[in-house]
Structure 1
Amino acid sequence: MTPEQYVQDKAAASGSSFYYAFLFLPPPRRAAITAFYAFCREIDDIVDEVSEPGVAQAKLLWWRKEVAQSFAGQPSHPVMQALMPHAAAYSIEPAHLQAVIDGCQMDLEQTRYLDFAGLQTYCHLVAGVVGEVASAIFGRTEEATIRYAHKLGLALQLTNIIRDVGDDARRGRIYLPVDELQRFGVKAHEILNRGYSDRFVALMKFQAERAHACYDEALRLLPEADRRSQKPGLMMANIYRTLLREIERENFQVLHQRISLTPLRKFWIATRTQWRGR
């Protein structure tokens, strides 16, 4: 299997909405974003799939060394072998990849966040930096587009957090800020025990409103000159915002299930965005 086949399989197997946003890109950009996305999946899977913290830490350390070695001209992992030919063309730097690893390191070391400011730091590493790199691969020409990419990354990550509240709690992590749980009178054990209440729904409505505000701000920040190049990001915004509205329609029943969109619906949203341009 070639490195290119490896990253393609990694991206497709994840079932992620990102896969649909890549379909309309020209081959060089699609190859670059697929390799970068595969890197992000490799790192994220360590946290999600490795149950022993010591083993997970060792794997992240290995990846830190692999990133440094790859930028020194000696990639050994197929993901890095697929990614490195695109690094110079799209201004992908070691610091970008190390930031993604830093975010997953936080997942190993921190399972709660006292306030939204702390959560934003985490979201910046696992989503904002990813958005910045992706916007460059898509063809960013305006410096202001970086602010859009970071804000969109935050919106997408907040949507993930809302969708995965139940799954994350069963893995020992609650991303909802502690001070907001307290404000709405929701206890951690209620989330762990799948305890729905009016208080929980009110808390989740607050989370959803903030995510919607981030989507709105991201779209306001996107310069008109880059709107065409950033269509894949707009596809992601539309797919994830549709998911968020679906969660709202189901009254935030996210503790016992993972609400999702069908592949056909994701493809339809991506296609509609491609032709409408927004």
Structure 2
Amino acid sequence: MNPDQYCQEKCAASGSSFYYSFLFLPPERRRAIMALYAFCREVDDVVDECHDLSIASTKLAWWRQEIDRVATGQPQHLVGQALQAAGRQFNLPAEQLLEIVDGMEMDLQQSRYLDFKGLSLYCYRVASVVGLLAAEIFGYQDRRTQKYAHDLGMAFQLTNIIRDIGEDARRGRIYIPMDELKQFNVPAADILNGQYSDNFTALMRFQYDRAQQYYAQALAELPAIDRKNQRPGLIMATIYRTLLDEIRNENFQVLHQRIALTPVRKLWLAAKTWVRG
């Protein structure tokens, strides 16, 4: 198996909505974005699948070394080899790849966030940095597109937090800021134990509104000259905002289930958004 095949299989196997936004790209950009996404999956899997903190830390340290090897032309992993090839064509700074690892390591160090400021740093590292790297791969002419990519990454991660709140709770993690739990009078124990309430619904509507604000802000920031090149991000925004509305329509019943769109619906949304430009 060559690096491109490995990355494609890693992306497809994840079942992520991101995969559908890659399908319409030219081959060289599709290979590069799949390399980036496969890297994100590799380091995220370390945190989610490795229950021994010391082993997980060791594995993340190995990926830091692999990023150095990518920069010096000696990667060992198939994903590293794919990233090296992508880096020859597109600007993928090692510093930003390392920030993604920093974000994953935050999951090993803490399972709560006191306020949105703290959560924002986490979201920046695991999502906004990915958005900035993706914008480089897709191509842009106006530097304001970087602000769009940053805020769209925030919106995606806030959507993930809403969607995965029950799944994360079963891992002992709560990404809703503690001061907001207190503001809406939702004990952390209610989330950990899957207890719904009117207060929980109000808390989730607050999270929903903030995510939607980030989507609106990001889309308003995208310069017209870069809209065509950044269509993969627009596809993701369409899919994720549709998912967010589905969660709202289900009255935020996310503690006991993971609400998702079907692959056919994702593909239809992706095609419609690509054609619309």
RMSD across aligned C-alpha pairs, in angstroms?
0.6
Q: Residue type of the partner of 1:272?
A: K
The answer on whether the counterparts of 2:11 and 2:38 sit within 8 Å (CA) in structure 1 is: yes
Q: Residue type of the partner of 2:126?
A: V
**Offset at 1:70?**
1.7
Q: CA separation in 2, counterparts of 1:129 and 1:17? A: 18
Q: Residue type of the partner of 1:217?
A: Q
**Offset at 1:88?**
3.4
Corresponding residue of 2:73: 73
Corresponding residue of 2:182: 182
Q: CA separation in 2, counterparts of 1:42 and 1:168? A: 18
Q: CA separation in 1, counterparts of 2:229 and 2:3? A: 26
Q: CA separation in 1, counterparts of 2:140 and 2:118? A: 29
Secondary structure of the residue that 2:140 maps to in structure 1? coil
- Structure 2 residue 230 is the aligned partner of structure 1 residue 230: yes
Aligned residues: 277
| 1:35-62 Cα distance to aligned partner (Å, 9 max, x none) | 1110000001111111111110000000
| 1:127-175 Cα distance to aligned partner (Å, 9 max, x none) | 0000000011011221110000000000000000000000001101100
Corresponding residue of 1:9: 9
Q: CA separation in 2, counterparts of 1:86 and 1:59? A: 23
Q: CA separation in 2, counterparts of 1:48 and 1:141? A: 37
Corresponding residue of 2:37: 37
Corresponding residue of 1:113: 113
The answer on whether the counterparts of 2:113 and 2:177 sit within 8 Å (CA) in structure 1 is: yes
Q: Residue type of the partner of 1:128?
A: S
What fraction of aligned residue pairs are identical, expressed as a percent?
A: 59
Unaligned ranges ≥5, structure 2: none
Q: What TM-score do the two structures reach when normalised by structure 1?
A: 0.99
Q: CA separation in 2, counterparts of 1:178 and 1:245? A: 24
| 1:14-51 Cα distance to aligned partner (Å, 9 max, x none) | 00000000000000000000111100000011111111
Q: CA separation in 1, counterparts of 2:120 and 2:178? A: 14
**Offset at 1:248?**
0.1
Secondary structure of the residue that 1:92 maps to in structure 2? coil
Q: CA separation in 2, counterparts of 1:193 and 1:34? A: 37
Residue correspondence of structure 1 range 239-250 to structure 2 within 5 A: 239-250=239-250
**Offset at 1:89?**
2.0
Corresponding residue of 2:87: 87
Corresponding residue of 2:258: 258
The answer on whether the counterparts of 2:70 and 2:83 sit within 8 Å (CA) in structure 1 is: no
Corresponding residue of 1:98: 98
Residue correspondence of structure 1 range 43-62 to structure 2 within 5 A: 43-62=43-62
| 1:160-202 Cα distance to aligned partner (Å, 9 max, x none) | 0000000001101100000000000000110111100000000
Secondary structure of the residue that 1:113 maps to in structure 2? coil
Q: CA separation in 2, counterparts of 1:241 and 1:169? A: 23
- Structure 2 residue 154 is the aligned partner of structure 1 residue 154: yes
Q: Residue type of the partner of 1:100?
A: I
Q: Residue type of the partner of 2:39?
A: F
Q: CA separation in 2, counterparts of 1:17 and 1:141? A: 26
Q: Residue type of the partner of 1:46?
A: V
Q: CA separation in 2, counterparts of 1:86 and 1:66? A: 15
Unaligned ranges ≥5, structure 1: none
Q: Residue type of the partner of 1:45?
A: D
The answer on whether the counterparts of 2:114 and 2:179 sit within 8 Å (CA) in structure 1 is: yes
Q: CA separation in 1, counterparts of 2:195 and 2:251? A: 14
| 1:68-87 Cα distance to aligned partner (Å, 9 max, x none) | 11211101100011111121
| 1:238-266 Cα distance to aligned partner (Å, 9 max, x none) | 00000000000000000000000000000
Q: Residue type of the partner of 1:170?
A: R
Q: What TM-score do the two structures reach when normalised by structure 2?
A: 0.99
